[in-house]
Structure 1
Amino acid sequence: MTKRLLSRPWAQEVLAFFVLLYLELVRHSIRWEHRNTDYVQSVWDERKAILGCVWHGRVLMALHGWARQKDRMVALASRSREGEIGSRLARWYKVGVVRGSSRNPNKPGAAKGGEAAYRAMVNHLNAGGCGAVTPDGPRGPRMRAGFGAVRMARDTGVPILPFTWSTRRKTVLHKAWDHHCLPHFFTRGVIIWGEPIHVSKGADAAELEAARLNLETQLNTLTHEADEAVGGEIVNPDPKHRPGTGKTKVTGASGATA
């Protein structure tokens, strides 16, 4: 019944509004520390294009971390019910949304608009905009990066910028594949930006794998640092690696959210 209810647009809009209220109240109650903001500050000051990457389980505070120029940001969201609610939430913040997912290997006939979404994101970045993707979404494994972001960086010349956050008190949804984190009110938090990752336009398969591994390693290092810095629960990556990673063969541009 819940799934049927959440498939209705009015219910999705209501839920997105309540999530918005929670986010606005909780983020203003937290004592935030910001780390390594020099590069992202230059992005805002000089209106550079970047591709921001955050783990799926940390998306809730991503827009808080992106403090300026939200009109330049376009986020990539899946075509799932969860993606629809996230899209409605993003629109409250006047952030653009591109919908599309990589194909589910268990449903080979199910086209989910991944190629069209990928092209739309590439066009936006080439026009000087900024993008946001979850490199372990939409199905995981948790905190294991796919090739979507690094291919996008290769095809546009736009650098990837890792981002994460944590709070001392938070609820971790352990039953969810991404161990989604819900920050508590009136606690201590930290936002950390990583170092930009550049992928050359002529990058071959081995270079793409190196960039993918760099992204995964940076995000996991930053996330561990953030959890440790506030003294809260530490969320670790899924012990399983993403299928197809760790190899040198990389195929076309499909799988935009990979």
Structure 2
Amino acid sequence: MWLLFRTLRIRLIVQSPGISPYDPGASERYIYSVWHDSMVLPVFSGKHCCTTALTSHHKDGSFVAGVLRWRDIPVVRGSTSRIRTGALRELIDTVASRHLVITPDGPRGPNRVMSSGIPYLASRTGRAVVPSGFACSSCWRWKGSWSDLIIPKPFAKVILIAGAPIYVPRDLHTKELPQYVEQIQTAMDELDHLAQAELHGQRKSPRGSKDSTGEAFLPIPPGLPNNEGESSRVA
């Protein structure tokens, strides 16, 4: 799979400074929200720095956990639906100095529907949530029990977007979680639409141009993280 990803044309877009999961100099730690079916794309698109992932005990989660460990990304087994029980304490202890990646629609769906686990964890840890969006020009779909994993075909073009951080108030009451569930869901949906627009050239942004937040669009060679503020040519 690593050889496959070396053939891809990968472009990373970050909407705020310092939020790239591939940036070793990031001063803040985030919770990255990635849909289950897109999980493979960011895992192989660069070298992750100080990142731990939450994966379920379900069969699909076991496959993803194996891929993550192969890429030297530590894994905590659990699910967003049970994040308020056993997995929460382990997560807090394990990721004190690390980013955390969560699939908010796991472990059994519905596909691409946000659960309350991520805003709950953000509220209890004080970390901002970074929503994400992805698009791929050509892919296979590995059949899962409830969600098909997207596997890009050789030489495909891949767009990855890290959205502006969403801050959830500390120690939020559970009755207030739904508004942040909706906010993160909306951000994820919008970023997926934006990634599709970038993929098909519907959003006119010259290479190296800046978006409304002032962060440069960063094309990155497969497997090689860029420093933010730089751009490099992708063959």
Q: Place the TM-score, normalised by the shorter chain, in its bin.
A: 0.7 to 0.9
Q: Is the 1:142–1:179 contact (alpha carbons within 8 Å) kept by the matching residues of 2?
A: no
Change (3 A) 1:135 1:66: farther
2:214 corresponding residue in structure 1: none
- For 2:92, what is the secondary structure of its paired residue? helix
Q: Is the 2:20–2:162 contact (alpha carbons within 8 Å) kept by the matching residues of 1?
A: no
Report Cα offsets for 1:104-154 as digits up to 9, x if no partner.
Answer: xxxxxxxx89722122112234x2221110011111111110000110000
Report Cα offsets for 1:189-218 as digits up to 9, x if no partner.
Answer: 211111101111142345421211111111
Q: Does 1:152 align with 2:121?
A: yes
Aligned positions of 1:180-191 closer than 5 A: 180-191=149-160
- Return the match for 2:56 from 78, 81, 92: 78
Aligned positions of 1:176-255 closer than 5 A: 177-231=146-200
For 2:13, the aligned partner's letter is: R
- For 1:182, what is the secondary structure of its paired residue? strand
Aligned positions of 1:37-116 closer than 5 A: 38-41=17-20, 44-65=24-45, 67-69=47-49, 72-101=50-79, 115-116=85-86
1:169 corresponding residue in structure 2: 138
Moved over 4 A (4+): 172-176
TM-score, normalising length: structure 1: 0.69
Q: Does 1:119 align with 2:89?
A: yes
User: Structure with the greater relative contact order (CA < 8 A, sep ≥ 6): 1 or 2?
Assistant: 2
Change (3 A) 1:41 1:54: closer
Aligned residues with identical type, % of pairs: 24
Shift of 1:100: 1.8
Change (3 A) 1:179 1:93: closer
Q: Whose Rg is larger?
A: 1
Could you tell me how far apart the structure 1 residues matched to 2:170 and 2:144 are?
Answer: 39
Report Cα offsets for 1:69-108 as digits up to 9, x if no partner.
Answer: 1xx21111111222222222211211111112367xxxxx
More helix by share: 1
1:18 corresponding residue in structure 2: none
TM-score, normalising length: structure 2: 0.75
Q: Does 1:32 align with 2:10?
A: yes
Q: Is the 1:75–1:98 contact (alpha carbons within 8 Å) kept by the matching residues of 2?
A: yes
